Amino acid sequence: MTDRLTRSDARDNRARILDAARAVFSEEGLAAPMREVARHADVGPATLYRHFPTKRDLIGATYAEQRRACRALVRDALADPDPWRGLRRLIEDICELHARSRGFADAFMTAFPEADDFVEERQRTLRAVEDLARRAQRSGHLRSGFVVDDLMLMLMAHQGIQDAPPETRLTASRRFAAYMLEAFRAHPETQTPTPLPPPPRLCPTHPPRPDR
């Protein structure tokens, strides 16, 4: 009975630490100290380090679900028979993943040495974008000048959305992605514009007008 209780307590502590890490890293990024995660989880540093000896271990476990989601997004995009639709959906979904968590965005962009495990994830995504881009360019839907570095440039700019109020980040991310995809399209001036998602409320003293 005692062993079962001990194992149950350990599972509960681990779950609380991961919940705390997701909350702390999502708001503060990966620069947040381990002690802040321990404080948020209401456990002592010794308990935290017993479960996660290094910050790298903690980051890997915290974002295991997002990494699985990223792999699924890449797989689905590559399987889409319409390469432009697959590329567009992949970019939209990656932006949404990043908007939901500053920590995951930091890890994906390898802004910190503790995020080295995410390099493989990023490379897999970039290879998928490269493959989809070539196919979308051959189909005539993606502008010929697009290169995979443009995705990284876009995501670097997209990280600025983390400075927006939490309640507006997803809306801002979707609007930003829509503008970027419009810029990536081949000959957008000759095509019917895709309707934009609703604008975020970033200037409360000047409410946005509805799109015409």
Secondary structure in 3-state letters for 64-76 = HHHHHHHHHHHHH
Residue 55 lies in a domain: yes
Contact between residue 86 and residue 132 where contact means Cβ atoms under 8 Å apart: yes
In this structure, the answer to whether residues 52 and 77 fall within a common structural domain is no
- Give 34-83 pLDDT, tens digit per residue: 999 999 999 999 999 999 999 999 999 999 888 899 899 999 999 999 99
Task: Give pLDDT tens digits for 187-203.
Answer: 866 667 778 899 888 77
Residue 57's domain comprises 2-62
The CATH code of the domain that includes 18 is 1.10.10.60
Q: Does 46 share its domain with 80?
A: no
139: part of which helix (H) or strand (E)?
helix 119-139
| pLDDT tens sequence across 21-32 | 999 998 888 889
Which of 138, 126, 121 lies closest to 82 in space, CA to CA? 138
Whether residue 177 sits in one domain with residue 105: yes
Do the domain assignments include residue 197? no
pTM here is: 0.81
Quote the tokens at residue 188: 């957008």
Query: Are 54 and 74 part of one and the same domain?
Result: no
Amino acid at 132: L
